[in-house]
């Protein structure tokens, strides 16, 4: 078992390696044996590191999503230049390149090509944010909030109050995009500033825990649309962990069988998967309620949304406990005042206002999330493609169409209309992502890699069609496996 969590051990081993002037050599097959948090080896630039139990990793438990795998490119996507210096104390030896049998010379050339593209983007200054742009976006968002508040404070009209609730739902959606940019460290080089902005737009204005979001979202970026390789590993995408309500592959639809003594699907799973194409939108309406619940649990130590998040909270705790809890408490305070109409509304009317705002926001947010990845390729973690192909094939770009203008798509999706490009370069600020897209498009054509883009209507139809296809496969396989049913 690895001991990477004890910094003194790998440091001593590194010193010994230098003194012997001969590094240990490991095969790819050996690296693949170490896939759990308490026994985690990772590869970066053909060097092997033992990060077992490294719960002090600044980015949290997301590091364990690549246990037993090559993290070279996802490391570059998430870290500032020079961050690899911190890895030296975990170095245990070198990978034998010839043992990586799934990569031929054309694949190695392709990987060099997209690493060269990244270096080119850095030289072009594409990772430098426009502070003026983000000042404008923050100001616009606060104007939305003030307008929604004023509509309740100054009016007794039911129609105006409904409009206020819908505007508040849209405000929360746009807060999500701002928090997303700040917490991806697109705006500030100093990461603490990004975290603090994330607490403002996340905890205070939305009621979403910053740490809950970072754990979930960083894990998703590292392993989009992947199923866990084993019950003990943490290399699966938390964003597609939607069972028993939704299944994005036949394997996932059947995954709850092992939880039952008879090895069969429960009644809930049968009906949920059978009708998932019809329940998709109703589920989206309730998505924000689920996120509020998970955020509250995370901030106040009442539970965790996943095993990876549980591990992170148990070993590290909250990064900003006072700020997170205060922010969420203040969110519910101002939301209570607004939902009550500053004390004028009845309880039933207050609940109606809150639910319209909350459900509309859940729909607005989840609609964009769904367009980004749902209905795209799903892989087992053990058979994932290289970084570039994984990000591109599991992701969908969104364009205007069916009367929906491109400028609305750009605003509504908050930069995530370029989901492919964002997943390749998550630290690139929103104000540069459109320019980056042209280079990504050219690179994909040069290397024969297909990426998918479509309009909002067609993309949503693709999601629903995919859900129905999984339902049909599930029902056919269920009859084959249990013909007496």
**Spatial CA neighbour of 38 closest among 216, 305, 234, 319:** 234
Q: Residue 278 forms beta bridges with which residues?
A: none
In order of 173, 207, 326, 474, 482, the CA distances from 212 in angstroms are 17, 11, 15, 32, 40
**pLDDT in the model for residue 11:** 45
User: Average pLDDT over the chain, rounded to whole?
Assistant: 89
Report pLDDT digits (tens) over 233-254.
Answer: 777 888 888 888 999 999 888 8
pLDDT band at 308 (very low <50, low <70, confident <90, very high): confident
Most confident region among 18-27, 100-109, 114-123 by mean pLDDT: 114-123
Distance CA 401, CA 175 (A): 25
Q: What are phi and psi of 145, to 5 degrees?
A: -65, -45
Helix axes 276-285, 456-481, angle to 10 degrees: 130
Report pLDDT digits (tens) over 21-45.
Answer: 577 999 989 999 998 888 999 999 9
Helix axes 210-222, 158-183, angle to 10 degrees: 60
Sequence-distant (6+) residues with CB within 8 A of 173 are 361, 364, 365, 368, 412, 414
Distance CA 332, CA 299 (A): 13
Q: Does residue 185 contact residue 208 with C-beta atoms inside 8 Å?
A: no
Q: Does residue 3 contact residue 52 with C-beta atoms inside 8 Å?
A: yes
pLDDT band at 14 (very low <50, low <70, confident <90, very high): very low
State the average pLDDT over residues 264-287: 92
> Between the CA atoms of 236, 239, 245 and 246, what dihedral angle is there, to the nearest 10 degrees?
-80
Report pLDDT digits (tens) over 373-392.
Answer: 999 999 988 888 888 889 99
Distance CA 176, CA 342 (A): 26
Distance CA 391, CA 463 (A): 18
pLDDT band at 314 (very low <50, low <70, confident <90, very high): confident
Q: Which residue has the tokens 């690895």?
A: 2
State the average pLDDT over residues 143-164: 98
pLDDT band at 59 (very low <50, low <70, confident <90, very high): confident
The answer to whether residue 57 scores a pLDDT higher than 70 is yes
State the average pLDDT over residues 311-319: 86
Report pLDDT digits (tens) over 65-96.
Answer: 888 889 999 898 888 777 878 888 999 999 99
The DSSP-derived string for 80-101 is: -TTGGGGGGGGEEEEE-GGG-T
Q: Under the phi-then-psi rule, with left for phi > 0, alpha for psi from -120 to 50, and beta for the rest, what region is 109? A: alpha
Distance CA 69, CA 40 (A): 9
| Buried/exposed 225-255: b ≥16 CB within 10 Å, e otherwise | bbbbbeeebbbbbbbbbebbebbbbbebbbb
The answer to whether residue 443 scores a pLDDT higher than 60 is yes
The answer to whether residue 5 scores a pLDDT higher than 90 is no
State the average pLDDT over residues 302-322: 86
Q: Does residue 207 contact residue 332 with C-beta atoms inside 8 Å?
A: yes
State the average pLDDT over residues 438-457: 92
**pLDDT in the model for residue 478:** 66
Q: What is the pTM of this model?
A: 0.88
Report pLDDT digits (tens) over 173-223.
Answer: 999 999 999 999 999 989 999 999 999 999 999 999 999 999 899 889 988
pLDDT band at 483 (very low <50, low <70, confident <90, very high): low
Pairing of β 39-44 and β 35-36: antiparallel
State the average pLDDT over residues 52-58: 86
In order of 57, 283, 294, 350, the CA distances from 304 in angstroms are 19, 21, 7, 29
pLDDT band at 12 (very low <50, low <70, confident <90, very high): very low
pLDDT band at 18 (very low <50, low <70, confident <90, very high): very low
Distance CA 117, CA 113 (A): 6
Distance CA 206, CA 483 (A): 49
Report pLDDT digits (tens) over 321-376.
Answer: 999 999 999 999 999 999 999 999 999 999 999 999 999 999 999 889 889 999 99
**pLDDT in the model for residue 232:** 67
Distance CA 68, CA 70 (A): 7
State the average pLDDT over residues 433-461: 92
Helix axes 191-199, 158-183, angle to 10 degrees: 160
């Amino acid at each position: 078992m690895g001991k990477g969590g004890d910094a003194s051990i790998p440091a001593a081993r590194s010193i010994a390696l230098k003194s012997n002037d001969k590094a240990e050599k490991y095969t790819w097959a050996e690296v693949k044996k170490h896939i759990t948090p308490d026994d985690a080896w990772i590869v970066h630039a053909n060097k092997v590191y033992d990060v077992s139990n490294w719960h002090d990793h600044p980015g949290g438990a997301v590091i364990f999503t690549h246990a037993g795998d090559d993290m070279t490119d996802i490391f570059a996507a998430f870290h500032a230049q020079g961050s690899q210096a911190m890895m030296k104390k975990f170095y245990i030896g070198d990978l034998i390149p010839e043992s990586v049998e799934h990569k031929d010379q054309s694949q190695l050339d392709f990987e060099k090509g997209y690493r060269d593209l990244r270096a080119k983007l850095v030289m072009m200054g594409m990772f430098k944010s426009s502070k003026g742009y983000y000042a404008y976006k923050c100001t616009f968002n606060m104007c939305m909030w003030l307008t929604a508040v004023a509509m309740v404070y100054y009016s007794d009209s039911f129609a105006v109050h409904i409009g206020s609730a819908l505007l508040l739902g849209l405000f929360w959606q746009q807060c999500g995009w701002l928090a997303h940019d700040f917490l991806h460290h697109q705006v500030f080089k100093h990461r603490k500033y990004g975290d603090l902005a994330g607490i403002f737009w996340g905890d205070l204005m939305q009621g979403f825990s910053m740490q809950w979001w970072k754990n979930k979202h960083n894990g998703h970026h590292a392993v989009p649309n992947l199923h866990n390789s084993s019950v003990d590993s943490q290399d699966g995408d938390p964003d597609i962990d939607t069972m028993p309500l939704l299944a994005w592959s036949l394997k996932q639809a059947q995954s709850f069988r092992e939880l039952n003594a008879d090895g069969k699907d429960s009644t809930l799973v049968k009906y949920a998967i059978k009708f998932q194409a019809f329940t998709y939108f109703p589920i989206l309406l309730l998505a924000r309620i689920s996120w509020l619940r998970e955020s509250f649990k995370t901030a106040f130590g009442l539970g965790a949304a996943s095993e990876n998040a549980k591990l992170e909270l148990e070993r590290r705790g909250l990064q900003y406990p006072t700020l997170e809890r205060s922010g969420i408490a203040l969110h519910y305070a101002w939301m209570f005042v607004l939902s009550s109409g500053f004390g004028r509304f009845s309880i039933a009317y207050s609940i109606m206002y809150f639910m319209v705002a909350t459900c509309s926001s859940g729909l607005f947010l989840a609609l964009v999330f769904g367009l980004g990845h749902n209905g795209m390729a799903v892989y087992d973690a053990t058979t994932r493609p290289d970084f570039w192909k994984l990000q591109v094939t599991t992701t969908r770009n969104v364009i205007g169409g069916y009367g929906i203008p491109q400028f609305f798509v750009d605003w509504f999706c908050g930069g995530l209309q370029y989901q492919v490009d964002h997943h390749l370069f998550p630290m690139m600020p929103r104000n540069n992502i459109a320019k980056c897209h042209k280079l990504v498009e050219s690179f994909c054509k040069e290397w024969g890699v297909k990426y998918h883009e479509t309009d909002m209507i067609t993309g949503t139809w693709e999601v629903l069609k995919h859900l129905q296809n999984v339902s049909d496969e599930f029902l056919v396989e269920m009859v084959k496996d249990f013909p007496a049913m």
